[in-house]
Amino acid sequence: MSSVLVTGSADGIGRETARTLIRMGHRVVVHARSGERAADVSKAIPEAAAVIVGELTSLGGTRALAGEAGLHGPYDAVIHNAGVGGGVPRRELSADGLERIFQVNVLAPYVLTALMERPARLVYLTSGLEANGVVDLGDLQHERRPWDGMQAYSDSKLCDVLLAFAVARRWPEVRSNTVDPGWIRTRLGGPGATDPLPLGAETPVWLASSDDPAAAVSGRYFKRRRELRANPVAYDEALQEGLLERCAAFTGVTLPL
C-alpha cells in the first residue's frame, strides 16, 4: 500500500484519481480549496485518509497547505493535479498581485514541491496545449503581452513540464514525470470534451503506484501510459533553471538542491 496526496481532488480528474487509488488499496489524502469544498469531497470520498484545505491563489495558503499536508505524510507519491483553465476574458490578479493562472498552475506546485518532504514519485498534470506554450522568462505573468487566456494557460502547462523535468534532473532519487490526461469531460474540460473521466485518471494513477518498469522512469512526458516528446523547449536545462529562479523570486521559496 502506498500513501498518496492528490491536489485538486474535490472534483474532476483529481477526484477520479483519488477514488481509483483508494479502490486499489492505497492510502489517499485529498485536497480542496475551501472548507465548503472540503465538506463536499468528504462526502464524495469518505474513505480518504484525510482532507486538507488550501487556497492555491494565495502564497500564504499554499505554504500553509504544504505544512498541513506534511502532518499527514510522508507520501510515496504526490500528484499535482490542481489547476485552473484559460477561459477568462481579462488578466486577473491574486491578492499577492500575481497573475492567477500562473500562480495556481505553476507557482503552487512549485511551492508545494519545494516545501514538502520529497516523495518517491511526483506527477505533474499538464495539457496537450503545452505544445502551443511559450516560456518568456521576462513576462511569465503576461504583463507586457496582449491578454489571451488560452495562451496564458498553454504557457502555464508548458511551465509544468519544465518544472517536472527540472525536479527530475535535480533530484535523481525521485521519479518526477508529467502527464497530458487528454481532453476529459470535466467542468474544466467542458461539454465538448472527447474523453471519459476514467481515462484522465489512468496515467496519473499508473505513474504514482505501478511497479511496471515502464513507469519506473523520471523526467518523461506521458499520455495514455505512452511516453511522448514534449514541446522541445521543455528539454532546455538553462530554461528549466531560469524558470526555477523566477519561481523563487516570485514566491520567496527556493527549490532545495
Give yes or no for a contact between 188 and 150, defined as CB atoms under 8 angstroms apart: no
- Judge whether 153 counts as a catalytic residue: yes
User: Out of 110, 157, 221, 235, which one is annotated catalytic?
Assistant: 157
Cα–Cα dist 36/87, whole Å: 24
Q: Residues 238, 76, 115, CA angle at the centre, nearest 5°?
A: 50
Cα–Cα dist 192/203, whole Å: 22
User: Out of 110, 124, 153, 221, which one is annotated catalytic?
Assistant: 153
Cα–Cα dist 83/75, whole Å: 21
Cα–Cα dist 126/129, whole Å: 8
Cα–Cα dist 252/66, whole Å: 15
- Judge whether 124 counts as a catalytic residue: no
Strand pairing of 121-125 and 77-80?
Answer: parallel
SS (H, E, C) 183-225: CECCCCCCCCCCECHHHHHHHHHHHHHCCCHHHCCCCCEEECC
**Counting Cβ atoms within 10 Å, is residue 229 exposed (0-12), middle (13-18) or buried (19+)?**
exposed
As annotated, the active-site residues are 153, 157
